Amino acid sequence: MNNSEIKNDWIDRYNENALNPYELKRFNEKLNRNPVLRAEVSVDRCLNEILSDQDALDFYQKIGRARQRQKRHIKAPPLLLLAASIILLIVATGLLLRLTKVFSVEKKTHPPVAGMKKMNEGTRFLIQPNSYGRYNGNVTPAGRRYAILNPQVASKFNSLRELEILVGGTTRNPAFILTSPIVRQRLLLGSPVKFNWESSGNAIPVVISILDNQGNCIYQSTAILGNSFLLDTADFMKGLYYWRITVEDELVLVGKMALY
The site for another protein (CB under 8 A) is made up of 7-9, 11-12, 31-32, 35-36, 38-44, 46-48, 50-52, 54, 56-67, 69-70
Measured in whole angstroms, the distance separating CA 159 from the mean position of its chain's CA atoms is 26
**Angle separating helix axes 35-52 and 54-75, nearest 10 degrees:** 90
Nearest alpha carbon to residue 258 among 141, 137, 117: 141
d(CA 124, CA 160) in angstroms, rounded, equals: 6
Q: How far is the CB of 22 from another protein (least distance, A)?
A: 20
Closest CB to another protein among residues 47, 175: 47
Q: How far is the CB of 101 from another protein (least distance, A)?
A: 40
Q: How far is the CB of 88 from another protein (least distance, A)?
A: 23
DSSP string, 148-174: HH-HHHHGGG--BHHHHTTBTPPPS-T
Nearest alpha carbon to residue 126 among 167, 166, 161: 161
Q: How far is the CB of 30 from another protein (least distance, A)?
A: 12
**Angle separating helix axes 21-33 and 35-52, nearest 10 degrees:** 120
